[in-house]
Structure 1
């Protein structure tokens, strides 16, 4: 005989066997084994009798927490410890689970399709919701009820059950699975949801018909996110179920951006002070939503403590273990609670089976006797002061969780677990090739074969599919339930949605009915650490607090945020600027000196007015062209000067309006050429004055070198030089329209870029050179003796011209935007008006208002100093 080291360790650790012969252990590097020549095992502990049992060709085990407490005694190690005994009231729902297992087995035994001719038996134990009792039950299910077993050289498995249904709680299920695993005994739980049990390395023989908490944790996190709750509290059972389930939920919540204000763990066996501390944390918290991943018995203790003292309303998000427990609905302050529950089902015939409790059946079972006496408050036997049951007790009229089959959820999980095991046995012992199916009840199969077949089962029962994935888990499907008050004021479970993990991502979760919240409100409660940051602001985390606690700061200048709770602001594109709320980028307003604005209209009016003035002056001169004053001041250059001044006035109009490629080139070249033409005429007139007085000297023939042809040639030559400069500028790097995005951040300035700054300043410099030369010559000629010396007028005009353009340079450089153009237009107009007023206004005044001075005699009369 050969027994694994793990098996021996488990047996010895529980003190279940004594070895009557020598035990030799051979240890090698790869394997540890025990060789026993002769082995006789005798149970040392007291045999634990099953709560319900029945013989059969193949026996199934069951473990249910029918009681929720265990009687413990202190051991002094001087005598054999007493066996662990259950105490406390019977949990009606767990009794219904065990009855549902019996019902399913009897239904299978009466079936002609599933295991025909084979009778299943059962051994159902009360685990008392205790790990030590559950482990004891596990070993007993592995070794039968016989006081002596494994005798002789043959290690038979006659006492081993084929499979086990249970346990309902994760922690006892983990302990039982560690016992069943080495013996390859399948364990199918109906209510153990810890995600850790999906690890096939540690729990190779564990299956379940209820989904893993990993699916429920993900679904709860999505539910919390769906309602916009980012600030929650969390409580959990301090057990494998609560700790692992909450760890999965918190991981999923972090992925969804949900923060946890507190996370508290407790257990029903903790001192009351511990439960009070958890209750006080909930009362003082600011989180409106509380997620509770607890067992139903633990949650009952907490809610009882919370009911002792009023506290602000809370929205309870419950795990399946308690949120669908009808016994919890008595806590009215939890109205509005939501959570996921196993889908409701219907098991035909189950209610009649549960109500079929005859007095003889009840008396034959100590457990049913205890249940009967508790619910009817009487005694079947006269052993206490309580009255005897008189036979009028009617189970049909009883309102208890045992008889309540209106919302079968976990009961259906028990029902499916039994059928899953039956299908596995069926596939192992029955031949499907024959019709009808032939099953040999004498076929000896081991639990390992049932384990292998259980991995492959795939069937439907009562319209519900049953199968297991590689981890022993079913497809996760939940109902979303809501605690709602009915018309009578009682709380009832209402299905408001569904969750199906097999659907595509993003479509697993749906709500198809209105929910009610605390105090009957239909408005979704708000549970956030900080209010959402509106568009136009960004979140700034508060130091030392979770990411859900933050302040909202306005976006910096030039940046926006167009989403709620934006972590960052982003800048607008270059040609866009934020609106006042800083949540949208709008095109920047385009700015240029326009004919439609007041400044543009005024400048245009002065420009046109100046041109008209020049034309009127020319008309006056032309009308009096034969008068001495016109003839004495070189009428040909005067008309050419008036023409150039007209162009100077009009060229300022090219600076007004939206810049274009042609207008940019025209405005600068027209300005440069017309002003040079004007300066050339002024220079010509100044030279003529000087030459005229030089010609009066004896023997001087200067005027023959500066007659009309030479004057024309001078004007053309000087103007042609400017034309050449402008042509070179336009060819090499002409002015062009551009959008100025740097002067103002919030608007675009349309302007003409110079192209080549050298070309621009060459044009201005040439004009300035001619102006200075004119000014110098005019100063030299201003004191020449004559009654009407034009050099004086030219001196004043050049003085104004130079002053204007000297002040123009700093004003031009420092003026922003469209005012740069306005400064340039002002300089053009001011210098043009200076020329026309200084040179032509006195002459026009004499011609029009002082005709007596417009005589040759008056002009030839030399001024006396």
Structure 2
């Protein structure tokens, strides 16, 4: 009979316990068993298989320590545990050990993909094989990947299953939430184009906030609240959640956010589709929480089988039968809500632990005794090592083993062939470049240029991402771009809308004041009809801003630039007419002047109508020849697909702006010449200031507009419209409102005929 001893080293305390995920702090043996490998009996084989895992601790810790716990998938503690494994037991001296009879032959890592990456950094130096029972990390380091094997199935199979599930139920409008690490990036990069090609659209793609310290809890909560709002406001009913084993903790907290935060968002029922890596794991404070949220959820699962005797072993386990388990007392207290200390019972309440409590009496939400996916993967991992040892012994060493015995401690387990290369491999994100004067097998590794990636090793050229995707920061993955436009819900959009409506109400108030005092000398002297027309055009200019905000549509794209051009033409032509009338009125006061017949409503109306019709003609030609239309800008912004209005004909767009500039320059010139006319009713000086502001805004608009990208271009145009309109309103009408409301004694016919010096 062959004796095979398996020692499992577990380095962290218990989470929502699913053996063998129930872990301990002290490296002690917990499993001894005899194995017979096929028909071959091997006497004296002793192996030590170690398991690294970092589930969430099952300790009652204050909330401020919740994210400072070193066992929360911490890289530093995993590195420390890896180095302790390679040091003398009980004496941590890196790279030194004197107990040569305790050499590990393999390490089982999990359940989080990061744990495997952390342990590989240390253990691969010593060429110790590693088997991951959790989700598989991406190994870019060729040396490390040689010593690594995945028990978890390929993610591509699960992605295909998600696709078939969505198509079967005709769920074509979904949201996607993934973990904020490389596995999440890979998941999104793989599944997004596959779903899109099969007619499934995304309302949003979000990432779960990650943290490692309590100082970051405020940021995490803030991000969690924003994701909650995004999910609950979404019209998509189906949410695909990709995560790791600890993601269930986040999901349980996430769905209870309204209980902790004041969120004016109505909770809506969603169908959650969970990937197989997500397991029902929880924190102690979630013990009594309702788990009804899982009803209706769909979770993918990896194949597993019930292990004979496993459930009975767990159900009968007690303190007396597991004296060597260093974690058992701590787990016992948390699982049965009791204490071994009278002092703790007196202080915190509860009961005294007898040690005879039965695990089978615990609810499954606290302790599940059936074989889970992760448990089954660990089981298979142990057997994989056993069979590998058998195969290696039988194929290479049988003839050389004295007395039928084989001392595993003296063997080198890594055994991969020696390498003889001119260069190290060029990793993903780099491409090969031939060295001048060197053989073709010698090359340099150059980083991919901006906008290109390489997702395999030793590629000769980097390639561009498909349309609608962009390279990640390492330039080894293509990520889907997200749609972007200036919306009413973002802070910038809200600010611009608020500003536009504020100016609209101010203009309405000014118009009301002038209508109320329409018979006063000041209003009469400044041509009431032109004043009303100018104020109404300013009202419309503030409102036309609203067409520039929101997702571009066919109608809004057709109207917003043409409406802006015509409305501003009316406004500027009114200013021009006012300026011309001021000059003609002064000239008409000279004896014998023939200008009197030109001073009147006909001239002002002719100026406004002719200028407006000319601008309207330009806009009509524009809409007839090459009208604006909704479009996508895939290239201006790296990570975004900008939804915009394509102007159709850029030439016609600049013709509209040029005509406005022409009117503004004429108005400014005439007003500047007439600014020193002596009559107190002279508006020329105010018009001069207003047109100076107007021209300054639009002269600076063109270079600013051309130098911005994405939705910022729309914001620049909106800001220019608001600023120039507000300049006209403030410079022309604020002095008049001041006299009408605060200095009524100046609003008399006698005051209006005084000279400027007298005022």
Per the normalisation by structure 1, the TM-score is: 0.39
TM-score by length of 2: 0.44
